[in-house]
Chain A
Amino acid sequence: MTRLAIRRLACGPWLSLAAAALLLAVLPALFASSAALNFLGFVMVIALAALGWNLLAGYGGQFSFGHAAFFGMGAYAMALLQVRLGLNPWLALPVAVALGGLTGLATGFLSFRAGLRGSYFALVTLAFAEVFRILANAMAFTGGAAGVLVPLRIGAAQFQFADKATFYWVALGFVIAAMALTRLVERSRFGAQLVAVRENEEAARALGVDTVRVKLKAITLSGAVTAAAGCLYAQKSLYLDANIAFGPWISVEALLAPIIGGLGTVFGPLAGTFLLLGLGEGTKTLLATLTGSAVPGADLVLFGALLILAVAFAPRGIMGVVAGAAARIGGAR
């Protein structure tokens, strides 16, 4: 095969995804320690949340600061459907994902109908997440401040995996599915309309794009994907409280990872999550060995600084840097 043909295949929209899936699937063979597998599983959960955020913000240009609302909705629905209604988690999962999508649709309906965008939209999503957090913290149904415990019932039928590698593979399946969904959106008419809204909403409307409808579709999908991440989180940790499930940390990480990885790209959110959480773990370990005790918040200081640096110097994130380097190598040849 010629070099050109190989490159065309490797850059093909689906082949690169399949290659990434294969590569990621063999990771547990290389990092077999329990801590490493735990980390990989967590990366998948956050990457999934980030993929959801990316659908709305990366492609549609609507920056949500409150994706915790969807993550928490998914996580709480997953846990409460099992604990309160005795539903099997595999049945609870689609319900929880649908509820996440509905939450997206409802918040989107309210804010997009009111014409909110930019900082107003960011604020309103933040407020929705806070309302959910306060409610989940105060209501008896959600277990109040004590939170919810999902009873330990290990087994694939119960969506609980004793083996950390198995959880990782299941979560990886979700992530690859979300990336495939992103790719589908990217190549669809809807995706093109969404990008048009991001680039210039007035122009898109002038061309006949029903911008509110397009944004609603995007926030519904986005909410559903991020809710799925919440479901995985519930099954991974088997414990939730309002500050975890609806806490600002998840809104921030779901937003940081795609920005650092590359906004509006299929691989950006995953690459960003790996970099972000990897650096975070690295800093924590390094500081703990240097100072002899854990330094709280050190990893987040780094995240915040990375966000500023990414906006200032690498607006297209890791994927942009990689593409730029590839173009330079290609140009030099």
Chain B
Amino acid sequence: MLKAEILLAALANGLLTGAVYALIALGLTLVYGVLHIINFAHGATLTAAMFAVYVAHQTFGIDPYLAIPLLAPLFFGLGYSLQRWVIGPASHGDDGNILLVTLGLSIVIENALLAVFRSDTRSIEVPYGFEVVELGPLILSLPKVIAFAGAFAVAGLLWLVIARSDIGKAIRAVAKEKTGAALCGIPVGHVYAVTFGIGAACLAVAACLLMPTFLVNPRIGNAFVLVAFTIVVLGGMGSIGGALAGGLIIGVVESLSGLYLGESLGQIGIFLIFLVVLLFRPTGLFGARA
């Protein structure tokens, strides 16, 4: 039998990791909610952001947390441009095409990173990398606690933008009825691109929060992206609250199945949830309708 403390520690770690998963899933669910497409380049964009954090730290000596205000706008611009000038025009407005174009983008980004950085796994060293926070019987890694808080802060900010700002109103209008929104004078192409940009900016923040404890290699995005898909599907496509809850659930499931099934089978729990939800409840736990 496993001791209660080990179980508790696994739970807490699962929640901490889950919050970052949720942050990664936020961008994906937002893009899905507005454009009704799945962005297959999401994982590769995350990898690119993680390498950007790596380069910022190794070359310019910028702390990963201080890189947030630099990289978030940079990746917003990147996401905006990709949607506005590559994905949009190349797909001729067809959903199947968007799927293929984003798949193509993910292949290009991932392998360009491979060509430049090679397949070595890299990590950065920060002075606080191994500091811990003691919380009752639990000993938690400080960077992971910061990432947990950061993920919730970004989710709150995102919710504020969507619920309160003008661009948020435009995004919601386009998500509901794009033809109607266009007739009201909302520039749909611009709103699509802004949504994509926000998604990419979320990834940049996630990358900054991840790098102090995670490692990076050109294929790392794949490991996250299926997890993010699972969260999005579980939480209900397009739901921000759903993504947060889904992320935490998945983090705990991964941690617990890793504990009980061992490292190599740990991820299988995630995929099984993914398949079961997709096959039997495609609207997710919190989704109202398909």
Contact = CB atoms under 8 A, between A and B. Distances in A.
Interface of A: 61, 63, 65, 110-111, 114-116, 118-120, 122-124, 126-128, 130-131, 134-135, 137-138, 145, 248, 252, 255, 259, 295-298, 300-301, 303-309, 311-312, 315
B111 A259 contact: no
B185 interface: no
A290 B104 CA distance: 26
A135 B187 CA distance: 47
B100 interface: yes
A255 B99 CA distance: 12
A131 B103 contact: no
A255 to B, nearest CB: 8
Interface string B83-99: 00010011110011101
B264 A134 contact: yes
Given A297-B218, A307-B100, A124 B108 contact: no
Interface stretch (B112-120, B150-158, B167-175, B247-255): B112-120
B86 A308 contact: yes
Contacts of B264: 134, 137-138, 145
A25 to B, nearest CB: 33
A300 B107 contact: yes
B132 interface: no
Interface of B: 37-38, 40, 86, 89-92, 95-97, 99-101, 103-115, 118-119, 218, 222, 226, 229, 233, 264-265, 267-268, 271-272, 274-275, 278-280, 282
A110 B104 contact: no
A138 B115 CA distance: 30
B112 A311 contact: no
Contact of A297 (B38, B100, B112, B226): B112
Contacts of A137: 264
Most buried by B among A301, A304, A305, A307: A304
B278 A124 contact: yes
A119 B232 CA distance: 13
A301 B99 contact: no
A297 B96 contact: no
A63 B97 CA distance: 10
A296 B114 contact: yes
B279 A298 contact: no
Contacts of B95: 118-119
A313 to B, nearest CB: 8
B99 A116 contact: no
A231 B105 CA distance: 31
Most buried by A among B96, B103, B278: B103
Contact of B38 (A119, A252, A307): A119
A259 B279 contact: no
Given A119-B99, A127-B274, A308-B105, A111 B279 contact: yes
> Sorted from nearest, which 3 A-B pairs have the closest CB atoms?
A304-B107, A297-B111, A297-B114
A215 B107 CA distance: 28
Given A118-B96, A312-B90, A304 B106 contact: yes
A124 B279 contact: yes
Contacts of A120: 278, 282
Contacts of B229: 123, 127
B97 A311 contact: yes
A255 B86 CA distance: 20
B107 A130 contact: no
B279 A131 contact: no
Contacts of A127: 226, 229, 271, 274-275, 278
A131 B272 contact: yes
Nearest to B32: A119
A110 B277 CA distance: 12
Given A131-B272, A134-B271, 17 more contacts: A114-B278, A122-B38, A124-B275, A127-B226, A131-B268, A131-B275, A137-B264, A297-B110, A297-B113, A298-B115, A300-B110, A300-B111, A304-B107, A307-B103, A308-B100, A311-B91, A315-B92
B96 A134 contact: no
A119 B90 contact: no
A124 B277 CA distance: 10
Nearest to B273: A127
A301 B107 contact: yes
Contacts of A138: 264-265, 268
Most buried by A among B86, B97, B101: B101
13 contacts: A110-B279, A114-B282, A122-B38, A127-B226, A130-B226, A134-B264, A137-B264, A252-B107, A296-B111, A308-B101, A311-B90, A312-B90, A315-B97
Contacts of B110: 297, 300
B36 to A, nearest CB: 9
B111 A63 contact: no
Contact of A305 (B104, B218, B272): B104
A103 to B, nearest CB: 14
B155 to A, nearest CB: 23
